[in-house]
C-alpha cells in the first residue's frame, strides 16, 4: 500500500477497500464481497476489463474535458451513479443516509435498495438541492409471489419522490452464495430492514429467501416456501405479468435490472421498459454467467439507442467506466466501491470513491484524446487476440 493510503488518504478504489476491510466486521465484509458458487462471475466481472485496451489519440484538443451526461433528460456531472446495495448500516452507522448526502452533495444519481437499513423516506429526505437541481434518486425492488404485497412499498417510493423504479429480474431464487451459507447474515441489535412492514426484531433475521438458499434438500426448500406464504421472490413472473402490474401500479419510470441476454433486451423494449441495466447481480446469482462487460456489446446492438443501456459489474477504475461507455453503455453504476467508501469514512469516504472515479475517467478521456462523453466509442478500444491488437 502506498504511503498516502497508509495515512488514510487512499488514491485508488482498491486502497479504499483495504482500509474499509480493517474497519467493518468480517461478517459484513464477507456478505458484501462474496459471489455465487466458485465466484467465477464475480472475478471475471473485474478481470475481463483487462482484455480491453484504450488506444490513445494525440494532438486533439482536450484542454476542457466534459464528463457530463443526460439520463431521462436530466444532466448529471459524471456518467456514474450509485447502484443499489443492501443493508448499508453494516458498513457505517449512518449507512444509506451518508450515501444520500454524498450523492446529493455531488449531484449524483443514487438507487436505494428496498433491503435498506434506513427507510426510503428518510433517505430521500437527506437528499439536498445542489446547484439549483435535485439529483435523481431511484428505488430498487423485488416483486413478491403475492404481488399485492409489493404495492404499498411502490406507492411509498412514488409518494416520497423517487423518479424511477428499478425492478431486479435476475433473482427468481437467490444464487448459491457460499459465504452466506457458511455464516448466515443476522443484523446486529438496533439495525433492521427499515422498509419492511414488520420493522421489528424479526426483520433482523435471515429472510425467507436466504433460508431457502441454504435448503439442503427439496423437502426443506418446499417447507420454506410454505412458511414464506407468498413473501418470497416471485419465480413465476413473466415479461407480460411484471410490466402490466408495474404500469398499473405506478407512474414512475421502470428500469429493468439484470439483463444479460440480447433476447431479454429486446423483450424489455417490446414490453415498454424505460431503460435496462446490464447486470449479473455483481456475480452473486449464477456463478457461471459471463461478465457484464462481455455481455454488453450484444445488448447495445439490440437496443440501438431506443432506450438507455445502463451498465454495472466489476467497475473499479475510471478506465473501466470509459471502456463500458466505449462499448455503448449510456450510464454506469457502481456498488461495492461505494460500500468500501462508506466503511472507510462514511459520507466522506463515499465522496472519496466518486472523486477517484471522476478523476480517473477525466484523465483517461484526456489521454485517449476525447473531450466529451458523447464522443467515446469503440474506435478507442482494441482487444488482444493471438498477440495482436484487433479492432472490436
Largest CA distance in the chain: 67
**Cell 479504499 sits on residue:** 16
Q: Is 86 annotated as contributing to ligand binding?
A: yes
Q: For this structure, is 281 an active site residue? A: yes
Q: Which residues contact 222 (CB under 8 A, 6 or more apart)?
A: none
Q: Is 125 annotated as contributing to ligand binding?
A: no
Q: Is 312 annotated as contributing to ligand binding?
A: yes
Q: Is 26 annotated as contributing to ligand binding?
A: no
Q: Is 316 annotated as contributing to ligand binding?
A: yes
Q: Is 314 annotated as contributing to ligand binding?
A: yes
**88 close to 96: Cβ distance less than 8 angstroms:** yes
Taking Cα atoms as reference points, which of 361, 357, 354 lies closest to residue 106?
Answer: 354
Q: Is 279 annotated as contributing to ligand binding?
A: yes
Q: Is 177 annotated as contributing to ligand binding?
A: yes
Spot the catalytic one: 64, 144, 271, 281.
281
Q: Is 284 annotated as contributing to ligand binding?
A: yes
Start-to-end Cα distance in the chain: 35
Q: Is 216 annotated as contributing to ligand binding?
A: no
Q: Is 335 annotated as contributing to ligand binding?
A: yes
Q: Is 133 annotated as contributing to ligand binding?
A: no
Q: Is 230 annotated as contributing to ligand binding?
A: no
Q: Is 315 annotated as contributing to ligand binding?
A: yes
Binding residue positions for FMN: 84-86, 113, 140, 168, 257, 279, 312-316, 335-336
Binding residue positions: 31, 84-86, 113, 140, 142, 168, 177, 257, 279, 281, 284, 312-316, 335-336
Binding residue positions for glyoxylate: 31, 142, 177, 281, 284
Active-site positions read 281
Amino acid at each position: 500500500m502506498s504511503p498516502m493510503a497508509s495515512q488514510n488518504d487512499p488514491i485508488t478504489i482498491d486502497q479504499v477497500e483495504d482500509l474499509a476491510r480493517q474497519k467493518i466486521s468480517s461478517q459484513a465484509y464477507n456478505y458484501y464481497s462474496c459471489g455465487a458458487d466458485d465466484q467465477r462471475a464475480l472475478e471475471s466481472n473485474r478481470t475481463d476489463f483487462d482484455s480491453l485496451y484504450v488506444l490513445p489519440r494525440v494532438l486533439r484538443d482536450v484542454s476542457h474535458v466534459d464528463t457530463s451526461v443526460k439520463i431521462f433528460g436530466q444532466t448529471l456531472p459524471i456518467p456514474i451513479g450509485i447502484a443499489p446495495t443492501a443493508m448499508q448500516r453494516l458498513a457505517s452507522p449512518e449507512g444509506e443516509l451518508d450515501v444520500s448526502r454524498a450523492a446529493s452533495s455531488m449531484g449524483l444519481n443514487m438507487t436505494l435498495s428496498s433491503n435498506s437499513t434506513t427507510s426510503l423516506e428518510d433517505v430521500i429526505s437527506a437528499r439536498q438541492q445542489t446547484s439549483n437541481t435535485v439529483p435523481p434518486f431511484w428505488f430498487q425492488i423485488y416483486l413478491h409471489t403475492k404481488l399485492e404485497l409489493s404495492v404499498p412499498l411502490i406507492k411509498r417510493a412514488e409518494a416520497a419522490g423517487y423518479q424511477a423504479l428499478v425492478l431486479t429480474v435476475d433473482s427468481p431464487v437467490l444464487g448459491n452464495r457460499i459465504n452466506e451459507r457458511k455464516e448466515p447474515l443476522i443484523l446486529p441489535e438496533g439495525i433492521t430492514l427499515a422498509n419492511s412492514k414488520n420493522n421489528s426484531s424479526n426483520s433482523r433475521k435471515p429472510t425467507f429467501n436466504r433460508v431457502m438458499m441454504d435448503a439442503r434438500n427439496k423437502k426443506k426448500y418446499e417447507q420454506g416456501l410454505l412458511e414464506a406464504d407468498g413473501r418470497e421472490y416471485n419465480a413465476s413472473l413473466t415479461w407480460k405479468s411484471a410490466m402490466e402490474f408495474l404500469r398499473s401500479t405506478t407512474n414512475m419510470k421502470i428500469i429493468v435490472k439484470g439483463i444479460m441476454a440480447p433476447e431479454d433486451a429486446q423483450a424489455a423494449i417490446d414490453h415498454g421498459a424505460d431503460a435496462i441495466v446490464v447486470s449479473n447481480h455483481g456475480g452473486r446469482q449464477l456463478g457461471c454467467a459471463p461478465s457484464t462487460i462481455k455481455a454488453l456489446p450484444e445488448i447495445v446492438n439490440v437496443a440501438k439507442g431506443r432506450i438507455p443501456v445502463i451498465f454495472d459489474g466489476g467497475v473499479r477504475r475510471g478506465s473501466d467506466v470509459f471502456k463500458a461507455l466505449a462499448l455503448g453503455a449510456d450510464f454506469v453504476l457502481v456498488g461495492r466501491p461505494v460500500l468500501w467508501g462508506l466503511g472507510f469514512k462514511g459520507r466522506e469516504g463515499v465522496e472519496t470513491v466518486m472523486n477517484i472515479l471522476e478523476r480517473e475517467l477525466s484523465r483517461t478521456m484526456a489521454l485517449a484524446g476525447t473531450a466529451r462523453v458523447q464522443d467515446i466509442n469503440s474506435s478507442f478500444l482494441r482487444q488482444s487476440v493471438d498477440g495482436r491488437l484487433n479492432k472490436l
